[in-house]
Amino acid sequence: MGSELMPAAAGDVFGVVNLDGRIFMRPLSCPFTAVREQIARLKARTNVIIVVMHAEATSEKKALGWYLDGEVSAVLGTHTHVQTADDEILPGGTAYISDAGMTGPFDSVIGIQKETIIRKFLNQLPAKFDVAKGDIRLQGVVLDIDGQSGRARAIERISVPLHP
């Protein structure tokens, strides 16, 4: 877990907090309690705070979204490499999505050559994961955030094919 102030337009800054989830992941300190200190530190400089939660379980990410609703500008989930269709603005003004998606090859299994992953599922033996090629896409979200209040006005999923 960590946080950083990032430069924005017109000399402004915005805060980013990066958290790891605990469900189906390695043991960690509770991200729900740990995030409070990071938010307080960033709030001294900006009202625009984006929390990125790298976690396996959608339920853990969704719970964090509700937990921080109205306190941060956005809670964006990552890790599964599959963009979810649950983007929304929560009642307190926090933008939320369970997984922002993947930037990489989509003719694959979450970015890895299909044949390698299928073979691994069939024989349960360790395998070298080689990145797939082709059908490269950029996925993520575009946020519209009020710089004064820090409340999100809009969240929009993007999935853009990239051609060499």
- 32-45 tens-digit pLDDT: 999 999 999 999 99
**pLDDT at 121 (0 to 100):** 94
The predicted model scores a pTM of 0.91
Q: Helix, strand or coil for residue 78?
A: strand
> Do the Cβ atoms of 35 and 46 come closer than 8 Å?
no
Structural domain of residue 37, as residue ranges? 2-161
pLDDT for residue 163 is more than 80: no
pLDDT digits (tens, 9 = 90+) for 96-149: 999 999 999 999 998 999 999 999 999 999 989 999 998 999 999 999 999 999
Classify strands 152-161 and 136-145 as parallel, antiparallel or unpaired. antiparallel
**Residue 18 belongs to domain with CATH number:** 3.60.21.10
The residue with tokens 């990066």 is 18
Count of domains observed in the chain: 1
CA distance 59 to 23: 9
> Do the Cβ atoms of 75 and 95 come closer than 8 Å?
yes
